[in-house]
Amino acid sequence: MPDASRDVPVHSSPAVAANAEGDEIEVLESIDVLPVAPEDQWKSLFDKFDSESSGFISTERFRDLLAAHGSELDPHKLEVLLALADGNADGKICYQDFVNLVRMSNKRSNSFRRAILQGSRQLKGAGALGEEVGLGLSQRLVRHIAYETLPREIDRKWYFDSYTCCPPPWLILAITIAEVAVFMYYGLQLDRWVLQVSSPHFLRGPLPYHPKLRIQAWRYLSYAFMHTGIEHLGLNMAMQLLVGVPLEMVHGALRIGLVYVCGVLAGSLAVSVTDMTAPVVGSSGGVYALVSAHLANVVMNWSGMKCQFKLFRMAMALVCMSVEFGRAVWLRFYPPAFPPCPNPSFVAHLGGVMVGLTLGVVVLQNYEQRLQEQSLFWIFFSVYLLFVLCAVFWNIFAYSLLDVRLPPTL
């Protein structure tokens, strides 16, 4: 077999691009990261190294190929390429994986471009993140969260390498503390901890959404801090902390806050359009936006997600969501304690799910990538803004046009 390294044209190394300005990223689109060799030569190399595994070679053999044919690349960039090629971290690379890595420049992900442009960023260790030993408790926690939320090994390594807990995941914790404080206040004021909604003073406060007070715009968001009882708060708080805090640690408060607030607002607006006479309380819109986005991200990247017992844990998450949603449906149609005012609506849950399956999925799938550069983000965000605009006009004109009889605020 002819030597694959002889007479091989070598293109510009990304080591040069790593020190260039960020606006020169277009140049990388037309540059092969590895030297180009005839496909039959590369195929022969793969077949030679592993004739018993149908075209697979080990990552160590592929490392030797990178070192031999990509001599202009500095060592940490070789590690980046190795991690990208072995995306599922199984220690094997097939010929097609290599072809996709080298030739499909027009389909390279933003993570790939970021890997090359940020070539100065060191990767600690060549093996899979899960194989690292001697980690402290906090490092093991960060590694666990990386495997819980990120489907790509290179992203998990980068997150583990760069996470400093500064700032800490403050947003979800602050929202949870505020919800508990509001619940304690109303619990003491109403002298009721279970089914607080059955108290005649529950809906008189400044926080819950009530259709007769819909002119007070803050209620479309503030209703999330009130809950119908300890059973409602407990389920929402558990899902909010178990899912929201890890997501905030990975994606940051700004992105997770965007998904959460959009879910809360979509929940109240969905109620005002579809369940026009019902009030709304609870953070289920925001919680369901986060949980459904995370579950959808896990399903869409099932083979890449390396979290333990993921099928069982998904089933438990769905059970918790179903129990909470079932409780809300039962309460909505249960005879109200003070007719004609109905019990709080359950439609806010569905509004949150819709936000999570659209806007939330796009946010979670683009780790450390600029959302403003993602066309799908702008499509879903535009649809969301259109929904908000239509719901606002509905609230202004529909109630009077349809002559809806609104219940009193008690």
| 8 A C-beta contact, residue 56 and residue 50 | yes
Quickly list DSSP for 152-196: -HHHHHHHHHH---SS-SHHHHHHHHHHHHHHHHHHHHHT--S-G
Q: Could you tell me the CA-to-CA distances from 250 to 6, 58, 133, 331, 367 in Å, in that order?
A: 45, 30, 22, 36, 8
Go through the chain and tell me how many residues it has: 410
Q: Could you tell me the CA-to-CA distances from 148 to 91, 134, 340, 362 in Å, in that order?
A: 21, 20, 46, 17
Annotated active-site residue 349? The verdict is yes
Catalytic residue among 210, 227, 294, 349: 349
Closest CA relative to residue 215, chosen from 387, 345, 406, 396? 396
Residue 38: CB atoms within 10 Å: 11
Q: Could you tell me the CA-to-CA distances from 87 to 111, 120, 302 in Å, in that order?
A: 12, 21, 13
Catalytic residue among 13, 222, 284, 292: 284
Annotated active-site residue 322? The verdict is no
Cα separation, 78 vs 130, in Å, equals 20
In this structure, what DSSP letter does residue 5 have?
T
In this structure, what DSSP letter does residue 209 have?
B
Q: Catalytic residue numbers?
A: 284, 349
